[in-house]
Amino acid sequence: MIRLTKEQQQKMIQDIQQFFQNEFDQEYSEFDGQRVLHFIKEALAPHIYNAAIADVKYVFEQQFANFEEEISSLERPIRR
pLDDT in tens, 17-32: 999 999 999 999 999 9
Predicted pLDDT of residue 70: 86
Predicted pLDDT of residue 80: 84
Predicted pLDDT of residue 66: 85
At residue 72 the predicted structure's pLDDT band, cuts being 50, 70 and 90, is confident
For 18, half-sphere exposure in the C-beta direction (CA atoms, 13 angstrom radius) is: 6
Contacts of 28 (CB under 8 A, 6+ apart): 16, 17, 20, 21, 36
pLDDT in tens, 34-65: 999 999 999 999 999 999 999 999 999 988 88
Task: Tell me the residue type at 69.
Answer: E
Instruction: Identify whether the C-beta of residue 28 lies closer than 8 Å to the C-beta of residue 16.
Output: yes
pTM listed for this prediction = 0.74
